[in-house]
Amino acid sequence: MQHGGDNGIARSLWPFGFALAAAAFLVGLVINWWLVAIGGGVALVIGGLWIVDSIRRRHPHLLEETAEHIADAPAAAPVRRPATAGPAFSRSRFLEASTLGLGAVMGGALTVPSVGFMIAPAFERQRHGDADLGPVDNFPEGTYMVTTFMLDKRQGDVSRRTAYIRYNGLLQEQPSFTIVSDRCAHLGCPVQPSGPISEDSKKIETSNGEVTLSESNPAGFSCPCHGGAYDAEGNRTAGPPVRALDRYEYSIRGGNLFLGKMFSVGTVKGTGADARIRKFTLAAPGQHVDDWEWWLYPLQPPH
């Protein structure tokens, strides 16, 4: 059986296609389970076709003789396997396969644990318990409080964060808050209030550790790193940021304010309790969440 140029080209595409599918599988392990399924499925199909093609190339005479024997045999006659000149599987082939198989097992035993430790943290939702910020009475209406707190008391100061919190009064008989993250939507630098901050800070102890509160009445927020500017509701007004400042979910329990998970914001229309917020799944700094550019960032890693 002669193999033409087209078959040679096809054979050269098997490893290339398998590598692409394997890469999609590995990337999917970090960002999305659907990509894992697609990449794994394609890798299995291409790998199977690659194996079949390799067998055909290694033993073309067996396939030819078997096909001719079946075609020429009478309908009632049994089909016999054609005789071969030597053993079907020589000692050298056995040693080669054993060596490669043992190497694969050893390589897998060394690689799988290492890869597991590298990618496992990506599957751990970076979710902490709600942060207790103390009594609602510590937040005067209409005034931003520069609030520093710990996301996880067990981790200590390494988990300390800053948020700008304003009490907006009651909305449908429930307390309304604007809670803005200090993470710039450009590259994640800490934004600052565009206005004075009171030097008389208040420190309180909560179930989540120490919380520091300082009053401020900013006209907006600004990033000292690259000139990003935001209004008092967190909307981008100038500079390189691609969206509004992220916000925190919150709840009121036992008269205390608790911060929940963060979410990203496209734009905010209105102010205070009457603001209409375009809410999105938390995205990394620099990533668009609305308009046409969001198509460039279809998948988000776990947060």
Going from N- to C-terminal start, the domains of the chain cover 5-123, 131-296
pLDDT band at 161 (very low <50, low <70, confident <90, very high): very high
Average model confidence (pLDDT) across the chain? 81
pLDDT on residue 252 = 92
Distance CA 42, CA 135 (A): 55
Distance CA 232, CA 165 (A): 11
Distance CA 238, CA 294 (A): 20
pLDDT on residue 143 = 93
- Better pLDDT: 69 or 163: 163
- Torsion angle of C-alpha atoms 22, 25, 29, 31, degrees rounded to 10: 120
pLDDT band at 4 (very low <50, low <70, confident <90, very high): very low
The pLDDT of residue 77 is above 80: no
Furthest CA-CA distance within the chain: 103
Which tens digit of pLDDT belongs to each residue from 190-240? 999 998 898 888 999 998 889 999 999 899 999 999 999 999 999 999 999
* Sequence letter at residue 45: V
- Better pLDDT: 81 or 166: 166
- Better pLDDT: 64 or 189: 189
pLDDT on residue 16 = 75
With a pLDDT cut of 70, the percent of the chain lying above it is 78
The pLDDT of residue 1 is above 50: no
Alpha-carbon separation of residue 233 from 65, 144, 217, 219, 244 (angstroms): 79, 11, 12, 9, 9
CATH number of 131-296: 2.102.10.10
Phi then psi for residue 236, to 5 deg, are -70, 130
Nearest to 229 by CA among 197, 282, 193, 196: 193
Distance CA 143, CA 215 (A): 7
Nearest to 283 by CA among 299, 268, 259, 267: 299
Q: Which of 86-95, 135-144, 161-170, 190-199 has the lowest mean pLDDT?
A: 86-95
pLDDT on residue 52 = 77
> Is the separation of the CB atoms in 52 and 63 below 8 Å?
no
Distance CA 147, CA 178 (A): 12
Distance CA 68, CA 115 (A): 49
pLDDT on residue 65 = 56
The pLDDT of residue 37 is above 80: yes
Q: Which of 13-17, 196-200, 286-290 has the lowest mean pLDDT?
A: 13-17
